[in-house]
Amino acid sequence: MDEKSSFAIVIFRAIEQHYKNSSKDCPFAIPFEADVKNSLWFTHLAGVNCVKLLGRVRNHYSHQVRTMTQKLLKEEDADGSDDESESTGLTMAQKLMNLTCCGYHDANAYSAAKPIFAHVALYRKTSKNERAYNKDGKMTQFACRTLNLKIVQDFLTIGEEAFVYLCIRKEIIRRMYDSSHTTFTAKIRKAFIDCDECAYNGSVEELTLHAKDGFRTEEINFFLETKVMLKEQRRAEKAANTSDKVSKFHYIIPSTSHTPNSSKKRRHNPEQNKITLDTDDEGDDYNTLSE
């Protein structure tokens, strides 16, 4: 991979756009000349550094999604609401799977996943001086005030929301994993393939892929397809009447005079991790990962 590759083109375009939108002076003429690109790519290791940065941001982000997905599934287990002897409709795992298949078109599935979106949104908005959750795991006044009456796309870009869907699907399948391939596939078939109310219409083999670490070609394709699906859905969501917005947050702001400082420091610098997005990703409304 050299400075003429597709990945390099995206990187250089983002760097050029960054300097155009900032008050900092770029040490090179914009657009970059061929010799400048070659020097940045091979001497200053622009590509390697960007891969490291993107990997770090992705890991932080996916961890937030996995944490809250695990919490929702464990809460259901604790409540016994997924007991086979009870006829309680879809399990949490099935609702979340429907979300990854239908997006905004399944209001019940979206409602079930709302705590995950809230958790990710607050992760991006909070700092070391603003705590999103108290010691009991309840949302603070700051968190409720930040999210209340806002919609998901006020906080997450199309690419970020699509990545949330991918991480949710992976976590669902990884939680069902069994060392016995026969048992593992039987669990998946019973939960998602043979369930008439589950919107998933793919194969068992496609789902077993998500039990593996990392992100493979098929998963990247799912991410890209999800972005296409969300592009029209989010446009309709933003234009919908207030009462019809399925992604709208509703929180009662608790009465408290003080938001405690957080003792936990963030492990990355939001300013350093600012990444300019492709206009194809967000249209005209969303330009950066961190606003």
pLDDT confidence of 81, banded at 50, 70, 90?
A: low
Q: Provide the residue type at 32 as one letter.
A: F
The 10 Å Cβ neighbour count of residue 97 is 24
Nearest CA-CA partner of 58 in 212, 281, 286, 289: 289
Q: Residue 57: what pLDDT?
A: 66
Tokens standing for residue 259: 């938001």
Q: Residue 287: what pLDDT?
A: 43
Bigger pLDDT: 84 vs 239: 239
Tell me the C-alpha distance between 231 and 244, whole Å: 18
Question: Tell me: the pLDDT tens digits for 3-31?
Answer: 888 878 888 888 888 888 888 889 889 99
Bigger pLDDT: 262 vs 129: 129
pTM to 2 decimal places: 0.71
DSSP 42-76: HTS-HHHHHHHHHHHHHHHHHHHHHHHHHHHHHHH
With contact defined as beta carbons under 8 Å apart, do 166 and 223 qualify?
Answer: yes
Tokens standing for residue 111: 């409602």
What residue spans define the domains of the chain?
A: 1-44, 45-282
For CA atoms 182, 186, 188, 193, the dihedral sign is positive
Q: Cis peptide before 270, with omega less than 30 degrees from 0?
A: no
Bigger pLDDT: 265 vs 171: 171
Q: Residue 291: what pLDDT?
A: 42
With contact defined as beta carbons under 8 Å apart, do 101 and 200 qualify?
Answer: yes
Q: Provide the residue type at 161 as one letter.
A: E
Rounded to the nearest angstrom, the gap between the alpha carbon of residue 157 and the centroid of all alpha carbons in its chain is: 9
pLDDT confidence of 234, banded at 50, 70, 90?
A: very high
Q: Residue 253: what pLDDT?
A: 82
Bigger pLDDT: 253 vs 108: 108
Candidate from 189-193, 239-243, 260-264, 287-291 with smallest mean pLDDT: 287-291
With contact defined as beta carbons under 8 Å apart, do 72 and 115 qualify?
Answer: yes
Q: What angle do CA 258, 124, 70 make, to 5 degrees?
A: 95
Question: Tell me: the pLDDT tens digits for 42-52?
Answer: 888 888 888 77
Tell me the C-alpha distance between 34 and 218, whole Å: 34
Question: Tell me: the pLDDT tens digits for 84-138?
Answer: 434 348 999 999 999 999 999 999 999 999 999 999 998 877 766 778 888 888 8
* Burial class of residue 60, CB neighbours in 10 A (0-12, 13-18, 19+): middle
What Å distances lie between residue 64 and 21, 57, 167, 229, CA to CA? 29, 11, 10, 23
